Amino acid sequence: MTPHPTLAGRARWLTSPSTISVFAGIALATAYAWASLSIPAGTRLAFGVILVVVCVVFNTVGDLVEQRRLSVLAQLGRGALPATPEHLLAAALSVARAPDVTLVLVASFLSGGAFLVGVLWSASTAAPGQAGLRLAFIGLVSAPVTSLIASLSMFGRVRTVLGELVAAGLPAPQLYAALPARSWGGRLVVFALVAAVSPVVLIADLSLERFSGLVARVGAGDHAAARAAIEGSFVQDFGALAVLVAILLVLVAVCAWLAGDAIGGPLRALAEKTRRLAAGRYDGDFVPAEFESLDAAAALHAMEHHLLEALRALDQTSASITTATAALVATTARSSERLDASAALAQTNATTTELARSASQIAANAQVVSSLAQQTFAAARSGKGSADAFAGAMGQVREGNQAIADSVVRLNKRVQQVGRIVGFIDSIADRSDLLALNAELEGHKAGEVGRGFSLVAAEMRRLAESVLQSTREISGLIEDIRDATNAAVMATEAGVKATDAGASLSGRVGVRLTSIVDFANQSSEAMQRISEATGQQQLGTEQLVGAMTDILRATRASADASGAMALAHEELVELAQGLTRALADFSETRR
Amino acid sequence: MTLDGAVLCQVGPFRFALAAHDVSSIEVPDARGVYAGRWFGLGDAWPQTARSVRAPGHHVVVDTVEVHGATLPVLAMPAMVASHLVTGFVDVQGALVPVVSLAHAAERRP
Amino acid sequence: MRDALRGHLVFACGAGLYGVPSELASEVVNLPTLTRVPGAPAHVLGVFALRGEVLPVIDLTRLLGSPPPEQEWKRAVVLRVAQGVVALTATRVLGVASLEGNGGPLGNSGVQQHLKGPFQAPAGDVATVDPEGLVAFLARGG
């Protein structure tokens, strides 16, 4: 993963002011100790070595603790962790806590370190135990003020890194919600005490040291020597005291400046932001802050968010208003056009007069149509009578046809009976023929004796044959009659069907004619009513003409009023356009 | 001359009689059978329900078989009708039925 | 030889007229339902029983090889000779007539040798059939 462009190296950068402050504090404390303690010449090297070793060890340990605390930020900077909101938030919380961590670390390490150096130095160089104790005391006194400076010096960089984390994708509201709510209250009291008490203690210490030295010298020597010593040391002591006071003043001033900056920085930023909001520039920027100003920043941010929401809604409303205004402008323009319609009304008045003339013409035509309808009614009634008569005739034809069909069927039956009888006669004739034939044959066999018999038989055969001939002819006739009757039956059946169809047709014609008679009757009445209505309409139209004239007059008055209304519309349009422009400006500044 | 028991055979619309003592068995026809319809010009194909009438040395396939138990008088075959099959006629319910000799038929296969 | 023949029973058989001596024609009957005789020649139309006697029915047109008649067979002429009884089919029987003319045998072989003609009758030319010769011919197997 590639290092993050803005967060790379920020963990180290964040803690570097504290390191500088610590070393500055140690340097000052050492200088003081050097000046106030009369370190024996033989132990100076040991003192220096011990001091350097302890400083290096403690600084290394403190630095490791600080960097471990900021490990998420360091990983983000290296690109070892993705810049997700969770990781960014964890980094931001560790960053926000960093000054407190530094404060505790520096205070404890400095006091502990000073104590350790005093003990080691005393033990290693057989220096007087009182001197070691004093060294520890100097460390203990200088530790609070040094740690205070170290901590306060980080605030500026903490804010910068928090701003960068928000820029890297950490949602500001989430950060505001997650940052611990703390108060300057007690902290400021402690700071003030440290800033005020530390110089006093140091000055008191130096004074006491000088005084006890003087007392020792006075107690040991004569009065003149003591006087000289006091006068000599007064100048020397005064110089040292002046230097110490100057250094302490600088320290207190630095402390105050840093504390003021820690408190004032966020307030300045908030003030600046509030000014921007007041000017209508909604950038949604994150303002890093601590303690009470953090709440203010969070509240301001929420307020800005709501304002943005409201503005967005207002923007939409303004767009609607713009559209509506444009429509209104267009409508007003059209409405102005419509004012010209009074000329058209004059035209309409003329048309209405024409309508009145047409109405009277229509009334005359309606009369004619009415009489025609009555004629149609009469004709239809007569047609219905004819249709009824036709239907009756069809019924008679049908009955006749049915009678014929029945007769033909009866005839057919009779003919079949005749056929059977003829068949019977035929068979008898055939047998007679055969009988006569055999008789004739027998007669011939009998020779002369049978001749007469043969003659009779032959005569009988001729008779039988003529009967057979007749029956054959009758059979032919019967066949003809059967064909004819079959044809007749079919014809009469077709006739019956045709008359049935005719009867049904005439029935339908009758129904149609009945409905036509009804319609004709209705249309005759309707025509009558139309004729009457047209007469009334004629009257109405004349009244309409009068009314139109009145309307024309009223319209002209209305046209004047419309002119005034148009002016009002134009003003409204201008107002709307002004509003649109204002909103547009507003939107411009927001971007 | 009489016929003591007759087997009445029908092929198509025609009938003929066999002397009952000539017939050994009545069976389902097989491929070697000869259809009696050939004698009446009906061809060689017999219906599915046909029966085979067996006599020693010969068997003939007919449509249906009916055994007539009564003794019937046999009318002589007219001399001028030359048939190698028919030996005479019996009167069955007013109708003449030719009596066929399977022995003759065996001699001259139809 | 030209003389009047004794009375002949004249009958129509298809297109031709035939005559048989009236003393050998025993009777004329309506043609009844016939019983087919298996294995018999084609000109034997079948048999029928007449008073307890089985009569074979002969179709002259088939025997002579003439075209078959247009009308149906209506009658049968029964011939009775010493050798047996036979019936000839007829479409129509005209009756007993005396025949005139010089008729010779219609052929020298087969059934033709038993027919003679032509003879004249009121209805037209007639060929006479010799019943005894015909029956003998049929008894030989046709």
Neighbouring C-beta atoms of residue A28, cutoff 10 Å: 18
CB contact under 8 A, B100 and C56: no
pLDDT exceeds cutoff 80 at B30: yes
SS3 label, residue A2: coil
Q: Do chains A and C touch (3 or more CB pairs under 8 A)?
A: yes
SS3 label, residue C95: strand
CB contact under 8 A, C7 and A444: yes
Enumerate neighbours of B (3 or more CB pairs within 8 A).
Answer: C
Domain count, chain B: 1
| Predicted pLDDT at C2 | 44
Tokens of A411: 């005839």
List of domains in chain A: 10-321 (no CATH), 341-590 (1.10.287.950)
Which amino acid would we find at residue A133? L
Q: Which residues of chain A have pLDDT under 50?
A: none
Domain around B16:
2-107
Q: Both ends of chain C: CA-CA distance in Å? A: 30
Query: C28 to chain A, minimum CA–CA distance in Å?
Result: 6
CB contact under 8 A, B79 and C84: yes
Is B12 exposed, middle or buried (CB count within 10 Å of its CB: 0-12, 13-18, 19+)?
A: middle
Give CA separation, C22 vs A204, A534, C84, C129, C135, in Å. Answer: 200, 118, 17, 11, 16
CB contact under 8 A, A441 and C30: no
Taking alpha carbons only, the member of A163, A157, A148, A109 closest to residue A11 is: A157
Beta-carbon pairs below 8 A across chains A and C: 27
Q: Return the residue of B nearest to C135 by Cα.
A: B80
SS3 label, residue C8: strand
CB contact under 8 A, A445 and C29: no
| Predicted pLDDT at A305 | 79
Query: Who's near A54: CB < 8 A, 6+ residues apart?
Result: A113, A116, A117, A120
CB contact under 8 A, A434 and C75: yes
Tokens of A299: 């509240």
Walk along chain C (142 residues) in steps of 10 and give the mean pLDDT of each run. Answer: 70 92 93 91 92 92 89 92 93 90 85 89 92 90 69
Q: Containing H/E element for B52?
A: strand B51-55
Query: C58 to chain A, minimum CA–CA distance in Å?
Result: 20
Neighbouring C-beta atoms of residue A431, cutoff 10 Å: 12
Taking alpha carbons only, the member of C113, C63, C108 closest to residue C88 is: C63
Q: Do chains B and C touch (3 or more CB pairs under 8 A)?
A: yes
CA dihedral A391, A393, A399, A401 (to 10 degrees): -110
CB contact under 8 A, A444 and C30: no
C25: which chain A residues are within 8 Å (Cβ-Cβ)? 441
Tokens of A383: 């047609």
The residue among B31 and C27 whose pLDDT is bigger is C27
Taking alpha carbons only, the member of B108, B84, B109, B107 closest to residue B98 is: B84
What DSSP designation does C91 have? S
Q: pLDDT band at B1, cuts 50/70/90?
A: confident
Taking alpha carbons only, the member of A392, A379, A344 closest to residue A503 is: A392
ipTM of the shown complex: 0.85
Distance CA A199, CA A191 (A): 13
What DSSP designation does A290 have? -
| Predicted pLDDT at C62 | 92
CB contact under 8 A, C36 and B82: no
Task: Give start and end residues of each alpha helix (H) in A289-340.
Answer: 291-338
Q: Return the residue of A nearest to C30 by Cα.
A: A434
Taking alpha carbons only, the member of A90, A83, A93, A68 closest to residue A11 is: A68
Neighbouring C-beta atoms of residue C46, cutoff 10 Å: 18
Of C83, C86, C141, nearest to B82 by CB-CB distance is C141
List of domains in chain C: 3-139 (2.40.50.180)
| Predicted pLDDT at C1 | 41
